[in-house]
Amino acid sequence: AVGGLGAAGLAREGEERFCHVTPWPLGGARWAGMAAESAEDWLLESLRLYNDLHVFELQEPTRVIEWIGEKSVCVAGYENSRRNEILQLLLPQKLYVKEKQGLCPERDFKVERGGFSDRPVYSLRHVPDTSLLVTSGPPDSSLQVWQLAAEDTDVIKCASTIPTGNDSKKPWTKIATTLARTPCVLHGSRVNNVQITEIESKKNIYTAASSISDEVSSLEFLDCNTLLACCVNGQLCLADVRQPQSPLGDASIPWALSGEQWCMGVSPGVQGSDVNAPAIARLSSGGQLTLTDLRNISKLLKSARCKVSAASPSTEFLCVSWAPVLDGCLAVSGFNGTVHIYDTRSWPVSGEEAEPLFSHKGHILSGMDNGGGFPLVTTHAWHPWKSRMLLSAASDGSLHVWDWAESHKNS
Amino acid sequence: MPEIKVTPLGAGQDVGRSCILVSIAGKNVMLDCGMHMGYNDDRRFPDFSYITQNGRLTDFLDCVIISHFHLDHCGALPYFSEMVGYDGPIYMTHPTKAICPILLEDYRKITVDKKGETNFFTSQMIKDCMKKVVAVHLHQTVQVDDELEIKAYYAGHVLGAAMFQIKVGSESVVYTGDYNMTPDRHLGAAWIDKCRPDLLISESTYATTIRDSKRCRERDFLKKVHESVERGGKVLIPVFALGRAQELCILLETFWERMNLKAPIYFSMGLTEKANHYYKLFITWTNQKIRKTFVQRNMFEFKHIKAFDRAFADNPGPMVVFATPGMLHAGQSLQIFRKWAGNEKNMVIMPGYCVQGTVGHKILSGQRKLEMEGRQILEVKMQVEYMSFSAHADAKGIMQLIRQAEPRSVLLVHGEAKKMEFLKQKIEQEFHVNCYMPANGETITLFTSPNIPVDISLGLLKRESAIGLVPDSKKPKLMHGTLIMKDNSFRLVSPEQALKELGLGEHQLRFTCRVHIQDPRKEHEMVLRVYNHLKGVLKDYSVQHLPDGSIMVESILIQATAQSEDQGTKVLLVSWTYQDEELGSYLTSLLKKGLPPTTA
């Protein structure tokens, strides 16, 4: 009898070096191993759980996924000890065509462009409507500006460096970009060094007038005139760029949970007209999720607890983001090898544990041969218009694109 | 400087065919001879006039190597050997030799019989061409002639695909053809040893892709089949006789088992004898590990998969059928297609590339109204899907192969240089090798520094190794001898031997230097003084005081001469042969510095 998709259990034989066969799905003689079995099970289950599923293996893991338009994403390595690659990947055609254009046979990413970075890339942002990328990462707080488009080459070149004037001992710089008349970048590592710098001239057009030295975990433009910072301690700070010297607003934290570290996700819809939806989601290293309305950032609208078995060891990879299409849906990752989708509209008010609408377990279960480690999801990103599609990356180099099937509860 | 030249034949940026000329140490080899499937005229054939403007190519090429049976690698072979003219050896693996003529004949039929073209090779030409084929085994070194040897390595990709090493002396080139570095169910991953060729030539068509995992592609296949069957549709999967079909069968079988599905799955055998023949061929090509998988299941002993009878096509309800041929251009698969095409619940899944002119190609291009025989129009309402299971190396795979083989340089064909600069830099930085990307028709010249083996005479070796300290095995030892180059052979012999062979007498050169020493005493006292001095200074050398009053340092003679005019000055004659020049000069300058004062 043949068990599972892995065919007969074959004992490893002596070196008959004829052709190098690594039995699928894992190397070596583990045909009938446990891991193989569960990978098989998951794959068969995935037929029911997902409309679409793609599993890719990058040569180096990434902790950034940044959309360039609606057809490409940028990823980059974060190794300390060697050169890292920045890649611009074109999605498989099926995933970006809007009308059914006949057959789209290819399921592969195309590396449109690539570049080399001497430092690890911890943060990467695209300046909308330009061909510029901004990155940041250790060993210091400066920003690197990259040029994507070039007629005669596919190499992404480093165009310039923006020094931020921050002490290099401070934590690495967070960055944010927005559509503006002149390309600029919002950056900072602590509330009192948040600035907006014009990329071409390197001139500072806004500096936060604040004495708060708390470390910043997330920075966002709410629109080209309003910025929002989330501190590691959970505090939110708001400022209007048009009023220079306006202090980065101080919002108190009524429910301060000491010891936990926070990051935030801002609903993209807030830049539009829908002012009714809560715009700001904050996620803590202990799994707390809180929702706050822009109009009253010191008040908590709703909160819940994520379904995670253990607190995240660090906030390095904590990531929370709003769905661009599905109202009220959030994606959460960074605790382990899964990505959870929560529907905030169905949360109980009191802060209890919420049941995820869906849990993507592919990074743990798809059976990549990682030498037995437990991958950690480093980042995720929603597809701009396919309502249930996300991209997620993990510490083992995996990159998944998945579209979960509606009204299927995770078993 | 010895050079290796590589020219991908073809024009412009077209990627459709492989045909590469390599010139190595005076030998000319043609790698693959593919047809460009996109053209209907002579542009589909490589332009062989590059090799020679007139006449047959036999004199200009030492051999031709075909990597695998895909038409874009072997499609032009009969045209090349029979219509242009080549009578030399054509090398390929055994499965390739068996399968090539089938595909070539199929292709010929489609092009000539169906499309009515004229300037094309005939069935007889295919047969005559295959007579020139020499089949090789994996890892077997094949001597093409005294100097040129080739060796095939497993490439994965398709049944019989191989990578080839071409070697002349110590210069070598490895050509990969198409290969994949992630194993398949029925084919393993490509493998090569650390053969360190001067040049690795690799296809780069997929170099800039990151491939979706095999399992996700299989999942997609299963999903499509399942969905069709669930809604009561019939699924047709046109396949080539063996290989990928096997894999899909195992996949479906297991899926059916797990999901407890009842719809029947059929496999249409087509020409049974051929199928069995390939089956046997397939088994001997793979190794023990793969063999075991198939020994346990005879191709026709699946639990859920049964042999097809053409009557079944009319049965109601859902079913899945694997049928040959793969491009829907004739036979069973076309018959079934015609019956099922009108129902939108049904589905056809094309698992591979289809040649122009076939029904498969037409429907993949989106045609929904087909003209069949007798001017009948067939309306295609069934769903048309394409599933690419073919295995190719992506950027990661290319890096892996380079890591395995450790070439000194890399050459990528079929990529647009502008769009591959990143990959080129990646390869150059990671492996510290040059990476070339010639356009079709462009020649790349590489200079190599080959090692030249030289025979050393035993006597010389013994003599040289006897001098000085015991040689350190890790350090190069300097030897002296005479290099004789004669009739393509190199020998290192002692000078005496060389002179003897040349019939020349040996001339000796002797130098004598006069050194004036201030010493009023008698001659023999001075000599003693000199002797003691030298004995003390030259501790590592042999210093002898000879009975006739002269001193010998190694083979250098020091004598006191007859009186000079001045009583206080004595003259020493230092005499040495040309070979002792260094020591002789040193001694002379040492003596010229004077002698240490004697103690009273």
Q: DSSP characters for A303-348?
A: EEE---SS--S-STT-EEEE-SSSTTEEEEESSSS-EEEEEGGG--
Residue with the larger pLDDT of the pair A389 and B99: A389
- The most distant pair of C-alpha atoms in chain B lies apart, rounded to whole Å, by 134
Residue in A5, A19, A156 to test binding to B, most B beta-carbons within 10 Å: A19
Q: Judging by beta carbons within 10 Å of its beta carbon (0-12, 13-18, 19+), is residue B127 exposed, middle or buried?
A: middle
Instruction: Classify strands B20-24 and B27-31 as parallel, antiparallel or unpaired.
Output: antiparallel
Residue the block writes with tokens 């059976």: A367
What is the phi-psi region of residue A367: left when phi exceeds 0, alpha when psi lies from -120 to 50, beta otherwise? left
Q: Is B508 on the interface with A (CB under 8 A)?
A: no
Closest by CA to B92, choosing from B115, B122, B67, is B67
CA distance linking residue A400 with residue A57, whole number of Å: 8
Residue B193 CB coordination number (10 Å) = 13
Question: Which residues of B are tagged catalytic?
Answer: 203
* Interface ipTM: 0.83
DSSP B459-476: HHHHHHHHSSSPPPTTS-
Give the residue ranges of chain B where pLDDT is below 50.
271-273, 288-289, 299-300, 600
DSSP B192-224: ------SEEEEE-TTTTEEPPPHHHHHHHHHHH
Residue the block writes with tokens 């890096």: B399
A247 pLDDT tier (thresholds 50, 70, 90): low
Q: Is A7 on the interface with B (CB under 8 A)?
A: yes
Note the pLDDT of residue B284: 63
Instruction: Classify strands B369-371 and B265-267 as parallel, antiparallel or unpaired.
Output: unpaired
Are A63 and A74 spatial neighbours (Cβ–Cβ below 8 Å)? no
Q: Which residues pair with A73 in a beta bridge?
A: A67, A89
Instruction: Classify strands A236-240 and A226-231 as parallel, antiparallel or unpaired.
Output: antiparallel
Residue A271 CB coordination number (10 Å) = 16
Residue with the larger pLDDT of the pair A234 and A373: A234
Closest by CA to B380, choosing from B412, B334, B445, is B334
Partner-chain contact B226 A47, CB within 8 Å: yes
A14 pLDDT tier (thresholds 50, 70, 90): very low
Note the pLDDT of residue B471: 62
Task: Locate the chain B residue with the closest alpha carbon to A105.
Answer: B386
Partner-chain contact B287 A111, CB within 8 Å: no
Q: Please give the span between the terminal C-alpha atoms of chain B, in angstroms, as a whole number.
A: 68
Q: Is A149 on the interface with B (CB under 8 A)?
A: no
Partner-chain contact A116 B425, CB within 8 Å: yes
Residues 391-410 of chain B with CB under 8 A from chain A are 394-396, 399
CA distances from A26 to A23, A96, B479 (A): 6, 32, 54
CA distances from B272 to A63, B101, B307 (A): 54, 18, 11
Are B171 and B189 spatial neighbours (Cβ–Cβ below 8 Å)? no
A24 pLDDT tier (thresholds 50, 70, 90): very low
In angstroms, the separation between the Cα of residue A112 and the nearest Cα of chain B is: 7
- Write out chain B residues lying below 8 Å of A57, CB-based: 210, 213, 396
Whether residue A408 is predicted with pLDDT greater than 90 in this model: the reply is no
Are B153 and B165 spatial neighbours (Cβ–Cβ below 8 Å)? yes
Using DSSP, state whether A30 is helix, strand or coil.
coil
Q: Which of B216, B223, B420 sits opposite A107 (nearest CB)?
A: B216
Whether residue A90 is predicted with pLDDT greater than 90 in this model: the reply is yes
Residue type, B259: M
In angstroms, the separation between the Cα of residue B35 and the nearest Cα of chain A is: 23
Whether residue A20 is predicted with pLDDT greater than 50 in this model: the reply is no
In angstroms, the separation between the Cα of residue A57 and the nearest Cα of chain B is: 7
Note the pLDDT of residue B24: 94
Region A175-179: mean pLDDT is: 92
State both tokens at A249: 């607003």
Whether residue A32 is predicted with pLDDT greater than 50 in this model: the reply is no
- Write out chain A residues lying below 8 Å of B185, CB-based: 7, 24
CA distances from B157 to A57, B286, B524, B541 (A): 19, 13, 90, 68
CA distances from A261 to A138, A302, A317, B100 (A): 20, 18, 12, 65
CA distance linking residue A293 with residue A296, whole number of Å: 6
Phi, psi torsion values for B490, nearest 5 degrees: -120, 130
Q: Which of B187, B396, B419 sits opposite A59 (nearest CB)?
A: B396
A269 pLDDT tier (thresholds 50, 70, 90): low
pLDDT, tens digit, 9 for 90 and up, residues A395-406: 999 999 999 998
Closest by CA to B29, choosing from B64, B56, B60, is B64
**Gyration radius of chain B over CA positions:** 38
Residue the block writes with tokens 């939806």: A277
Q: Which of A18, A23, A46 sits opposite B138 (nearest CB)?
A: A18
Residue the block writes with tokens 């966002």: A220
What is the distance, to the nearest Å, from the Cα of residue A20 to the centroid of all Cα atoms in its chain? Answer: 37
CA distance linking residue A380 with residue A323, whole number of Å: 11
The DSSP letter of residue B438 is P
Closest by CA to B237, choosing from A193, B246, B77, is B246
Whether residue A7 is predicted with pLDDT greater than 50 in this model: the reply is no
State both tokens at A149: 């488009």
State both tokens at A63: 């902790």
Residue A240 CB coordination number (10 Å) = 13
- Write out chain A residues lying below 8 Å of B422, CB-based: 111, 113-115, 154-156
Q: Judging by beta carbons within 10 Å of its beta carbon (0-12, 13-18, 19+), is residue B137 exposed, middle or buried?
A: middle
Whether residue A326 is predicted with pLDDT greater than 80 in this model: the reply is yes
E strands, B99-233, in order: 133-136, 141-143, 148-154, 162-168, 171-175, 199-203, 209-210
Using DSSP, state whether A269 is helix, strand or coil.
helix
State both tokens at B577: 């042969």
Note the pLDDT of residue B570: 82
Note the pLDDT of residue A37: 60
Note the pLDDT of residue A250: 56
CA distances from A55 to A121, A397, B115, B219, B515 (A): 23, 11, 42, 11, 88
A119 pLDDT tier (thresholds 50, 70, 90): very high
Using DSSP, state whether B417 is helix, strand or coil.
helix
Q: Judging by beta carbons within 10 Å of its beta carbon (0-12, 13-18, 19+), is residue B431 exposed, middle or buried?
A: middle
A6 pLDDT tier (thresholds 50, 70, 90): very low
Note the pLDDT of residue A93: 85
Q: Which residues pair with A152 in a beta bridge?
A: none
Closest by CA to B77, choosing from B27, B14, B18, is B18
What is the pTM assigned to this prediction?
Answer: 0.80
Note the pLDDT of residue B595: 82
Q: Which of A10, A103, A399 sits opposite B292 (nearest CB)?
A: A10
Using DSSP, state whether B172 is helix, strand or coil.
strand
pLDDT, tens digit, 9 for 90 and up, residues A282-306: 999 888 898 888 777 777 788 888 8
CA distance linking residue A279 with residue A293, whole number of Å: 6
CA distance linking residue B243 with residue B157, whole number of Å: 10
Residues 71-130 of chain A with CB under 8 A from chain B are 83, 85, 89, 92, 102-103, 105-116
Contacts made by residues B288-293, CB under 8 angstroms, sequence distance 24+: B288/A13, B288/A16, B289/A10, B289/A13, B289/A21, B289/A23, B290/A21, B290/B186, B290/B188, B292/A8, B292/A10, B293/A7, B293/A8, B293/A10, B293/B186
Looking at B341-475, list the stretches that DSSP marks H as alpha helix, in order from N- to C-terminal side.
359-364, 395-405, 421-431, 458-466
Partner-chain contact A46 B184, CB within 8 Å: no
- The most distant pair of C-alpha atoms in chain A lies apart, rounded to whole Å, by 76
Mean pLDDT across chain B: 85
Q: Which of A22, A112, A155 sits opposite B421 (nearest CB)?
A: A155
A407 pLDDT tier (thresholds 50, 70, 90): low
Residues 254-313 of chain B with CB under 8 A from chain A are 254-255, 258-259, 286-290, 292-293, 296-297
Mean pLDDT across chain A: 80
Note the pLDDT of residue A27: 32
Residue with the larger pLDDT of the pair A124 and B95: A124
The arrangement of strands across the sheet holding A319-322 comes to A319-322, A329-333, A339-343, A358-360
Instruction: Mention every residue, 6+ apart, whose C-beta is less than 8 A from residue B224.
Output: B235, B347, B349, B385, B387
Using DSSP, state whether B394 is helix, strand or coil.
coil
Note the pLDDT of residue A244: 63
